[in-house]
């Protein structure tokens, strides 16, 4: 069971790092890395589903711009909305 969780985390980390654009790779991977080790199984599955959303809609959601889709309000979307990328 623990091996399944570890494999899911690896899959999520990989998918968060290779989004398509450097900016979204940075934003999403930083977000995922900041929360992944604190999540329970259900939230990991929500996070995996969250990563299926296209970059344009995620960026719009993050920047409070109208989306073309309705994002499910859950623990992950709340955390993402409150996440601030530390850009030095």
CA dihedral defined by 60, 71, 26, 44, rounded to 10 degrees?
Answer: 170
- Of 38 and 67, the one with more pLDDT: 38
Residue 88: per-residue pLDDT = 39
Residue 10: per-residue pLDDT = 96
Would the pTM of this model clear 0.85, i.e. be above it? yes
Res 84 pLDDT > 90:
no
Write the CA distances from 64 to 36, 47, 60, 67, 75, integer angstroms.
Answer: 23, 20, 6, 9, 17
Write the CA distances from 32 to 38, 54, 65, 66, 68, integer angstroms.
Answer: 10, 16, 21, 23, 23
Report whether 32 contacts 43 (CB < 8 A): no
As a whole-number percent, the residues of the chain with pLDDT over 90 amount to: 68
């Amino acid at each position: 069971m623990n091996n399944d969780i570890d494999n899911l985390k690896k899959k999520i980390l990989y998918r968060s790092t290779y989004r398509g654009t450097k900016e979204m790779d940075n934003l999403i991977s930083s977000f995922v890395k900041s929360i992944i080790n604190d999540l329970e199984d259900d939230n990991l599955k929500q996070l995996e589903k969250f990563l299926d959303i296209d970059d344009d809609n995620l960026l719009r959601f993050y920047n409070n711009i109208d989306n073309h889709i309705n994002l499910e309000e859950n623990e992950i979307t709340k955390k993402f909305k409150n996440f601030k990328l530390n850009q030095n």
